[in-house]
Chain A
Amino acid sequence: MPVRKSYVLLGSVVVWIFLARILNGRHTLQIATYENTSFTSFVGERALSIRGNRTESTAFIYFFNPIRGVIDGFVQAIRDLIAVPAPNSVIPIIGWLGVIGIVAFVVFATSQWRTALLSVSLLLGCGVLGMWQFTMDSIALTLAAVLLSLAFGLPLGIWAGLSDRALKVMTPFLDLAQILPTLVYMAPIALVFMIGAASATIATMIYAIPICIRITSHAIRTLNPAPVEASLSMGSTSSQTLRKVQMPMAKQMIVLGINQTVMAALSFVVIAALIGAPGLGNPVISALIIRNVGQGFVAGIAVVFLAILMDRSTSAAAKRQETFIPPSAQDIKRKRLTLLITGILAIVTVFISRTVLWAAIWPKEFMVARQVQEITNDVTAWILENLFIFTNGLKDLISYSILNPLETILSQSPWYLTVSMIICLAVVIGGVRTGILAGVLAMCIVVSGLWFESMLTLTQTIVGTLLTMIFGMALGIWVGRSDRAARSLRPFLDAGQTLPAFVYLVPILGLFGPTRFTAILTGVIYATPVVVKLVSEGIRSVPTTLIEAATAAGSTTRQIIMKVQLPAAKKTIVLATNQGLIYVLAVVVIGGFVGGGGLGYLVIVGNSKPELQGKGLIAGACILLLGVIFDRIMQAGARRSS
């Protein structure tokens, strides 16, 4: 059966390529960037009327505008506290020394002194890089978004953890939010809530809340049922059980959920600058636009520092909950005393930061931003000059060998041919129902009028996924088989997962210029860590008995990998491919900023040209449609292969 399936796939691909050759250039539905279809211009007019009605329509006056006001005020309050000078003043309410004192104290109180020391040095690092105010702005925005996300996410997560029906209702939304590329929902949000901190906060929340809900409900669902049953049988009410038994037991997991929520919010920090968020995103984006690799690098490091700080301090707090050894009376006393002393120290730093100028505003003498920038720019210039043959050769190799032929097949053949091919693939991989769904969604793209651009984006996504899987599988198998590899690669994988793609988009742009390849490579770097993690988990979960049996039968390592571990981990690998594809898609569209073209460029151009606004919004929807089509096909495929 599986053999026949792959023959069908191969056969249809051959027929497809053949037909694409014959019908090349016909019915491609290509329209110029400045052209609107009647549908896109209709959407554009609707969007314009929303813009115009902001001050008049009741929905805005009584609903959206108050929400915007409240969130804006909240963010601004935190910014006034630590980041921006108050009116008629040159310093924020708490200067840098005070912020460091408070952070050190909070981290020390919730975890341990080592983490506190790390946090302090990371913050000092941000200051030395000349990014103090941007960092504080980012912290303010992240803090606001995380607090609001938790306010919604924790109750919803607990509800979904307790009630099967609630979980069932929420799941499709959670799934959708997870494959929704960030670039897609920013424009609609900015349309309703305008450019500014409120829009950025709301967009961040949309990204972070699903993660919070998922982990919280998972935490409650995976609890040991015995204590819960005992509590209920002893006559506790369900709310008592929740508060006294389930919540305390799930606490560690929930803190982990908070950690993940913080990281999700933080990974939004850069891209949120596109819709007016204050913070580290601004220097990164402007570095991208003026292509100043050094500036992007400096700001990128500050983002990394901030990510490590947030990650370590929250995950250390989670670990702390683990210990069940009751502390001795002496321990408590000592701890309380040190807490008191450090607390007083923190207050003193706040006081100093309000009395002395050098403790309020980061002194210019303690900055190396300029030097770091110059060194980075010199290094990049050297690489550009001396490795040009290599970088350009790599780019041209990929472009001529895979990218161009695939783009010709997808974008230059008639739309009906490609749609039938998508349906055909969906039926073979996922079954008839998946085929119908894929067909309907593909037709939606056709009707939207952005078929041609969608195919450009699809090409880049496929090539990116291909490269991701090549790297991801190789590394994943290695990590899955060797503990040492797992240990040494882990920091890179973690960093890769939390770093916003924009941070490395700038240096890649420096190396490969404004091309599709730059977009694809950024996607590959973003998606590879996830694939490596999933594949290695799949390899590790293969029962050891199987491998021992194969070894006993005299198989070579190569045979064990190819014949035992990979087939046994097939389902995970299909899921990893799916994740990889969704991740690549989410980043490839950002490539519109750097010459990648396709749907991403339309989204961006729609933001800046009113006559193309409708087209930009539709382009966002098409990105989503592409994502859903492939997610459904792969999910169905994974389900079948198990």
Chain B
Amino acid sequence: MKSLFRRRSAVLSAVIAAALVVSGCSSSVNDSAGEASGDCGSWAIAMHAWNGYTASAQVVAEIAKKELGCSITQTTLDEGPTTYDAMEAGTIDLIIEDWGGGRWQEWTDRGAVIDLGDGGNVGLIGVYVAPWMVEKYPDIVDSKNLGKYADLFKNADSGGKGAWYEGPPGYTTIGEKMVSANKLNFKVIFAGSEAALIDGFTKAEANKTAFIGYAWQPWTLHAKLPNLEKGHVKFPANDWADAATASGLTDYPSTPLKKLVSKKLNDSNGAFMTLIKNFKWTNDDQNLVALDIENGSTPEAAAQKWIDAHADIVKTWLGK
């Protein structure tokens, strides 16, 4: 028994060693697959979890892979410090759309993360009600009147108050401050995901039930619910930039969305860096791709479709 076991482990290790030797031999696959062996290098793009982000990141990734021959990895990560840390650690090289409004300051001060400026998309956050409600209660879109409609929004999870849905943890939000500063009888519920908000708005619109929640532009939901913008509740004009100092009485600011890169990518000065530097597109462009993704196309196919249709823009990004 024992000798058999010994022999067996000997054979085992011999075979594995042999397999490793074989795998060390030069591979003909590598030589034949020349398309990815450019000198672009390999880069990691952070993938934040909203469809708009996916659209921008995938378009960049497809161009980098197909046109520049870069090897690109895409890693799903929470936005904010998680990703900045990963950039400092060298595991992530690019955030294509950052809503953080300066949260990266500490990292840029250290030189670990570099701010490349605007990517062309402008973010606008707001509080929205399901659009059908505006027809029935026209004055609901004035923040002063929200209080008297609070009872409409009650449900099993809102503890006798109106249910007020907020977005995912990382998003800039002052919902709680709005509720308390305006003395609204609402309970803030953190829905945890963009999908939960999409679900909330679409179900409420279809069933004519009440719903109030966090929404923004650019967002594909506007294409699905064309009236959504009508449900935008107006608060007094914005007077803050940093959510931490907001009073809760005024509305969200509009945020030019930023491109952030790692030190490594910034220093590389290669073709991929040029692409990122030049990348700039509009909210409409992004929505086009994001909507395709939401309707079931793969991100790759949706991005490729846009790239094929906008060869001239892609050309300017490539610096040709």
Inter-chain contacts of B22 with A (CB < 8 A): 347, 350-351, 354
A273-281, A421-429, A464-472: which lies at the interface:
A273-281
Q: In whole angstroms, how far apart are the Cα atoms of A601 and B51 in the complex? A: 23
Residues 57 to 80 of chain A near chain B (Cβ within 8 Å): 68
Whether B29 and A51, one on each chain, are in contact in the complex, defined by CB atoms closer than 8 angstroms, is: no
Inter-chain contacts of B271 with A (CB < 8 A): none
Whether A552 sits at the interface, judged by CB under 8 Å, is no
Residues 558 to 606 of chain A near chain B (Cβ within 8 Å): 592-597, 601, 604-605
- With contacts A335-B4, A513-B196 taken as known, whether A610 is within 8 angstroms of B81 at the C-beta atoms is yes
A86-94, A161-169, A218-226: which lies at the interface:
A86-94
Whether A286 sits at the interface, judged by CB under 8 Å, is yes
Interface of A is mostly: helix
- Chain B residue with Cβ nearest A519: B192
Inter-chain contacts of B159 with A (CB < 8 A): 404, 407-408
- Chain B residue with Cβ nearest A251: B5
Whether B85 and A51, one on each chain, are in contact in the complex, defined by CB atoms closer than 8 angstroms, is: yes
CB distance from B293 to the nearest CB of A (A): 9
Whether A118 sits at the interface, judged by CB under 8 Å, is no
- The number of residues on chain B lying at the interface, defined by a beta carbon within 8 Å of a beta carbon of chain A, is 76
Whether B195 sits at the interface, judged by CB under 8 Å, is yes
Whether A354 and B23, one on each chain, are in contact in the complex, defined by CB atoms closer than 8 angstroms, is: yes
Inter-chain contacts of A194 with B (CB < 8 A): 85-86, 88-89
Whether B33 and A400, one on each chain, are in contact in the complex, defined by CB atoms closer than 8 angstroms, is: no
Whether B205 sits at the interface, judged by CB under 8 Å, is no
Whether A276 and B77, one on each chain, are in contact in the complex, defined by CB atoms closer than 8 angstroms, is: yes
Inter-chain contacts of A85 with B (CB < 8 A): 36, 71
Whether B11 and A102, one on each chain, are in contact in the complex, defined by CB atoms closer than 8 angstroms, is: no
Whether A195 sits at the interface, judged by CB under 8 Å, is yes
CB distance from A202 to the nearest CB of B (A): 14
Whether B23 and A289, one on each chain, are in contact in the complex, defined by CB atoms closer than 8 angstroms, is: no
Whether B295 sits at the interface, judged by CB under 8 Å, is no
Whether B315 sits at the interface, judged by CB under 8 Å, is no
CB distance from B152 to the nearest CB of A (A): 17
Whether B307 sits at the interface, judged by CB under 8 Å, is no
Whether B169 sits at the interface, judged by CB under 8 Å, is yes
Contact with B along A238-253 (1 / 0, CB 8 A): 0000000000000000
Contact of A608 among B8, B11, B19, B170 (CB under 8 A): B170
Contact with B along A376-392 (1 / 0, CB 8 A): 00000000000000000
Whether A291 and B193, one on each chain, are in contact in the complex, defined by CB atoms closer than 8 angstroms, is: yes
Whether B14 and A343, one on each chain, are in contact in the complex, defined by CB atoms closer than 8 angstroms, is: yes
Inter-chain contacts of A101 with B (CB < 8 A): 19
Residues 2 to 58 of chain B near chain A (Cβ within 8 Å): 3-4, 7-8, 11-12, 14-16, 18-19, 22-25, 27-30, 32-33, 35-37, 41-42, 47, 49-51
Inter-chain contacts of A106 with B (CB < 8 A): 12, 16
Whether B82 sits at the interface, judged by CB under 8 Å, is yes
A4-12, A176-184, A355-363: which lies at the interface:
A355-363
- With contacts A194-B89, A195-B82, A339-B11 taken as known, whether A102 is within 8 angstroms of B169 at the C-beta atoms is no
Q: In whole angstroms, how far apart are the Cα atoms of A197 and B75 in the complex? A: 12
A151-159, A324-332, A488-496: which lies at the interface:
A324-332
CB distance from A357 to the nearest CB of B (A): 5
Inter-chain contacts of A408 with B (CB < 8 A): 159
CB distance from B49 to the nearest CB of A (A): 4
Whether A135 sits at the interface, judged by CB under 8 Å, is no
CB distance from B305 to the nearest CB of A (A): 17
Whether A33 sits at the interface, judged by CB under 8 Å, is yes
Whether A52 sits at the interface, judged by CB under 8 Å, is yes
Residues 131 to 188 of chain B near chain A (Cβ within 8 Å): 156-157, 159, 165, 168-170, 174, 176-177, 180, 188
Whether A81 sits at the interface, judged by CB under 8 Å, is yes
Whether A607 and B82, one on each chain, are in contact in the complex, defined by CB atoms closer than 8 angstroms, is: yes
Whether A396 and B79, one on each chain, are in contact in the complex, defined by CB atoms closer than 8 angstroms, is: no
Whether B76 and A89, one on each chain, are in contact in the complex, defined by CB atoms closer than 8 angstroms, is: no
Contact with A along B242-258 (1 / 0, CB 8 A): 01100000000000000
Whether A515 and B157, one on each chain, are in contact in the complex, defined by CB atoms closer than 8 angstroms, is: yes
Could you jot down 28 A-B contacts, CB within 8 Å?
A32-B180, A34-B244, A52-B106, A85-B36, A88-B37, A90-B35, A91-B27, A91-B29, A91-B30, A91-B33, A93-B24, A102-B16, A110-B8, A195-B85, A195-B89, A276-B86, A286-B49, A324-B1, A343-B14, A347-B22, A355-B29, A357-B33, A399-B156, A594-B193, A596-B192, A607-B81, A607-B169, A608-B81
